[in-house]
Chains A and B, each alone.
Chain A
Amino acid sequence: MAARSFPALAVANRILLWAVFLTLAVVCIYPMIWLFLNAFKTTNDMFAATWGLPKVWHWENFSTAWNYGISRYLLNSLIVTTSTVLIELTLATMAAYALVVMDFRAKAAIYTLILGGAILPPEVSLIPLFRVMAETGLYNTYFALILPNVAFGLPFTTFLIRAYMTGIPGELREAALMDGAGEARIFREVYLPLCRPILASAGLISAMRVWNEFIFALTFVESETVKTVTIGVMSFAVALRADWGVLMAGLALSILPILATFLVMQRQFVGGLTSGAVK
């Protein structure tokens, strides 16, 4: 594409802008590079030369971190994230479908109620939820994380999917109704396939949110066998105050899945994350 540049923009300004953006890019990226490089060092190497490449690449930091518990935390995060996303997408898509194609009483009020959940931060429900979890025996199980994560994710996910569905022509459904298809079948065979792009974006956003979720994981589980990776690295950090290399290897491992997903699916990521706030 031909660069549509400002003719009036002086060379000095251009250089200034390059300098600003290069600095910002380095400031944003370097901490991650620093993390990955230092994950290969011993604590002493790190104090001696925090900038440079490792003199000896201590790969064993990663295996130590892996065996220290990171593997289990990653597995737990994977279980919680996958379950949450599947349940959340199912419920949100059903609700969005009804809100878009069906006519029923109190529809506007119900939609407002679903969206309104987005305003409330988890803090306001935390204490009663904690008691519910304790009384129902859900405390310290995967469900203690999955259920609230679904609930707090539903408003935004429903909003995204509903917005997308309003763009699907209603004639498709009417034609199918004429042919005698029921709502469940139209939902499954017409709407779901058409919604695939938004389901991918919404699923990705939701997965990232749940993978990074902190306050429920901090409050509703305590044993090593259930802890997700965000809380796992916290206990890790406390236990490994003196062994920075292994700690950083652990931190690096904990973000590797998201980084990899991001680099592979950058378009869906940015597209999905930005589709909500911009109409």
Chain B
Amino acid sequence: MPDRSDHTQATWRQSLQGWLWVAPALLFLVVFVYGPALTNIRFSMFSFSAMSLDWDFVGFDNYLRLWNDPKFTTALANNAIYAAISVTCQVGIALVLAAVLEARVFPDFSANLFRTALFLPSILPVVVVGLVWQLLLTPTTGLIDQILWETGLASWSKAWLGEPDTAIFAVIFVSQWQWTGYIMALFMVAIRAVPRDLYEAMEIDGASGVQQFWHITVPGVRETILIVTIITILGSLKVFDIVWVMTAGGPNHSSEVLGTMMYRAAFRDDMVGYSSTIATVIFFIALTIGLVQIKLQKDR
């Protein structure tokens, strides 16, 4: 946290000036982020619909109902699977890819080209990515099925997005496709900050690339690994767009995540209080992850 804490000698007059400069930003955050987030917690204690005037105070009934809602269990599990796979791909695999590109295994020109190619998906709107992959994954006419047919793997062909067993995994796959290259670029910047002579010294000792990776790269970018892991877990918790576009939580709610469940409850099923309850759960999980991050960063 910042240097000079609240023990300042600033006079009220000086303070007033500082406050005026931060006030507009703070106002936006209070009005559009914090205020609504707190109001949302209050909403979760009521049962009401969007346009109705009668609000029934129900206390914690919504939470009890949520706890017993099988869709909630599915959603939580899907968010967890999402996070687990994303951390593996976007932290684990991305770090290895970054290390290879930074180890000058390829000529600079090719390495740059690879970086650009892998980074490219991350600049695209999630909606477009979702729609394009929906077309690619369409049974029979989609590109993926055609590849399977032409390589003699026709028996593997299936409606990836249309079957409960595979829908969430197809969505997660697309998400990895989109973000792994972005995280890889983050790691490349971090690796560049690791002193070169460490590698050179190890190389003289005859250490292999893999040994250098474990003994220099990984400890050297620990801070970035931590931040990226947190970003990835937070991202998996709040995931909404890609799921909504590709499966809308279907088929039969098998690919539901907290975000889609919350959205459907509020804007399709008109159970606003119940939806606020789901949003509150998201709020507290996000808060916990945020606090863990602060704690971990303070510890070092």
Contacts and interface: CB of A to CB of B under 8 A. Distances in A.
Interface of A: 1, 3-9, 14, 17-18, 21, 24-25, 27-29, 31-32, 34-35, 46-47, 50-51, 90-92, 94-95, 97-99, 102-114, 116-117, 119-130, 132, 147-148, 150-152, 154-155, 158, 183, 208, 211-212, 214-215, 218-219, 229-231, 233-234, 237, 244, 247-248, 251, 254-255, 258-259, 262, 266, 269-270, 273-275, 277-279
Interface stretch (B21-29, B57-65, B66-74, B155-163): B21-29
A214 B2 contact: no
Contacts of A211: 125
A34 B12 CA distance: 62
A3 B240 contact: no
B117 A124 contact: no
A233 B127 contact: yes
B121 A123 contact: no
Contact of B5 (A29, A108, A258, A269): A108
Contacts of B17: 98, 102, 104, 183
Interface in B1-26: 1-2, 4-6, 8-10, 12, 14-19, 21-22, 24-26
B22 A28 contact: no
Contacts of B228: 277
B18 A104 contact: yes
A108 B36 CA distance: 23
A39 to B, nearest CB: 11
A254 B118 contact: no
B209 A6 contact: yes
A50 B219 CA distance: 46
B214 to A, nearest CB: 14
Interface centre among B22, B237, B259, B283 (most CB of A within 10 A): B22
Contacts of B8: 103-105, 107
A233 B143 CA distance: 21
Contacts of B286: 119-121, 124
Interface residues of B, number: 108
Interface in B181-205: 181-182, 185-186, 188-190, 193, 203
A278 B224 contact: yes
B interface, over-half SS: helix
A123 B22 contact: no
A5 B102 CA distance: 10
B123 A269 contact: yes
Given A5-B104, A31-B136, A154 B6 contact: no
A267 B107 CA distance: 19
A9 to B, nearest CB: 6
Contact of B108 (A1, A7, A278): A1
Contacts of B185: 270, 273-274
A123 to B, nearest CB: 5
Nearest to A99: B22
A153 B111 CA distance: 32
A212 B126 contact: yes
A147 B32 contact: yes
B66 to A, nearest CB: 15
Give me the 3 closest cross-chain CB pairs, A-B, nearest first.
Answer: A104-B18, A121-B238, A98-B21
B18 A251 contact: no
Interface string B28-45: 110111111101100100
A114 B34 CA distance: 10
A277 B32 contact: no
A128 B39 contact: yes
A125 B37 contact: yes
Given A215-B240, A277-B227, A95 B21 contact: yes
15 contacts: A21-B101, A24-B117, A25-B113, A91-B24, A95-B22, A121-B259, A121-B282, A125-B32, A127-B43, A128-B36, A132-B36, A151-B28, A262-B120, A277-B186, A279-B223
B153 interface: no
Interface in B256-278: 258-259, 262-263, 266-267, 272, 275-276
